[in-house]
Amino acid sequence: MHMKRWKPVTAVAVVLLSLTTLAHAQVLKAVQDRGALNCGVSEGLYGFSARDSNGNWSGFDVDLCRAIAAAIFNDVGKINYVPLDANRRFKALQSGSIDVLSRNTTWTMSREIELGLTFAATDYYDGQGFLIPRAMGKETALDLDGVKICVQTGTTTELNLADYFGANKMKYEVMASTTLEGAIKGYDSGQCNVLTADVSALFGIRLLLSKPDDHLILPDVISKEPLGPVVRQGDTQWFNIVKWVHFAMVNAEELGVTSKNIDEALKSDKPDVKRLVGTEGSYGERMGLTKDWAARIVRLVGNYGEVYERTVGVGSPLVIPRGINQLWSKGGILYAPPIR
Ligand SMILES: N[C@@H](CCC(=O)N[C@@H](CS)C(=O)NCC(=O)O)C(=O)O
């Protein structure tokens, strides 16, 4: 029988393509070989990533790490949390010491085109705000002319602050700190009279002050801060895993699949639900995971709404309203592409 022989140039192309695919699909394998996900989180941001006295991490950003670990290992304990301040976060990701950064990080153009990184999704739509002592008697950010403001360095917050005060021709003095702890201490001890950060962060920070009720968050939101998980460029498989872990949680909420009814969902005959929980199709396997990847996430961590309410919403001390972080079908802007 005459065998079709590959021309040398085709063979080289095939080998190169396979090598490239391998080189581009290293993170999942590295995580599986290591037996744990290295997840970069903040050093401690109440509601998002905070450690209790027993060393257990919890929060909205931590739950994304847990969801990824659930999808890969069916075990939310297989995570090494790497606390990172604003200045160190991107270097940690670039150097490979973390697999994913899940740390109230704003998606901006320069962070993608200059740092070799890519945002997998926006999992929290935020904006920048101001925390002030009630006694100051100010009602809007436009009344803040001449104030002294505490801010953390290495953040978009620092940059927006300059834009906003510049555009409104207002004077201000900055007390910049490399850590959040430093910024909070500066504010709580009166070294500055305003603290600026993402509004979600301000909700958590206020609870840590000596007298939370004496402080208010001004209604003005001066920027867009789409926060989400970040990965290195070049590994599409890993990028897809992180992105679809988030989308699976949003789709689960939209379909009414929760950690409480996941067993019923596994018996559902609704096509959308079947594709989500893996009783139809092989979406998980195609990403290098298992059929039940999303069912694992919902069972062990919850859908998006469950995570939101437990960590920062009405089930938490922060009580942040869902606002635009509500499903598109309920008036918000969360819209996940379908699993199909
Ligand atoms: N979303 C902004 C700000 C993020 C940020 O680092 N905010 C500070 C102030 S709330 C923070 O989370 N600090 C915690 C830490 O450094 O661990 C960004 O990506 O630049």
Percentage of residues in the chain having pLDDT higher than 70: 93
Edge-first strand listing for the sheet containing 172-177: 172-177, 147-152, 194-198, 128-133, 215-217
pLDDT at 18: 46
| Matching CATH number, 22-125+227-330, of 3.40.190.10, 3.30.470.20, 3.40.50.720, 3.40.50.2300 | 3.40.190.10
Q: In this structure, which residue's CA is closest to atom 13 in ligand 1?
A: 180
Listed residue (132, 71, 11, 152) closest to 339, CA to CA: 71
The amino acid at residue 76 is V
Q: What is the pLDDT of residues 214-243, one digit of tens each?
A: 999 999 999 999 999 999 999 999 999 999
Residue 125 in tokens = 């739509």
Which residue carries 């140039």 as its tokens? 9
* Calpha distance 248→274 (Å, rounded): 12
- CATH 3.40.190.10, applies to 128-223: yes
Spans of the chain, pLDDT less than 50: 1, 3, 6, 9-10, 13-22
Task: Determine the 3-state secondary structure of 258 from DSSP.
Answer: coil
Alpha helices for the chain (secondary structure H):
8-23, 27-34, 60-73, 89-94, 109-113, 156-167, 180-188, 199-208, 236-254, 262-265, 271-277, 283-286, 293-300, 304-311
Q: How far is the CA of 85 from the centre of ligand 1 (A)?
A: 7
Please report how the helices 236-254 and 60-73 are oriented relative to each other, as an axis angle in degrees rounded to 10.
110
Q: Is the distance from the beta carbon of residue 197 to the nearest atom of ligand 1 less than 6 Å?
A: yes
What pLDDT does residue 25 have?
Answer: 73
Report the SS3 class of residue 195. Answer: strand
Q: How deeply is 86 buried, as exposed, middle or buried, from its count of CB atoms within 10 A (0-12, 13-18, 19+)?
A: buried
Ligand 1 site, residue 105, Cβ cutoff 6 A: yes
Give CATH 3.40.190.10 domain extents, the chain.
Answer: 22-125+227-330, 128-223
Q: Which residues, at least 6 apart from 223, have a Cβ–Cβ distance to it below 8 Å?
A: 127, 128, 156, 160, 164
The pLDDT tens digits for 259-274 are: 999 999 999 999 999 9
Please state the pTM of the whole predicted model. Answer: 0.93
Crossing angle of helices 60-73 and 27-34, in 10° steps, is 80
Going from the Cα of 86 to the center of ligand 1, the distance in angstroms, rounded, reads 5
* Best probe residue, ligand 1, of 45, 93, 196, 208 (max atoms within 8 Å of C-beta): 45
Task: Check pocket membership of 177 for ligand 1, CB cut-off 6 A.
Answer: no
- Ligand 1 centre and the CA of 201: distance in Å? 8
Helices (H) and strands (E) in the chain, counts: 14, 14
Ligand 1 contacts CB of residue 295 (under 6 A): no
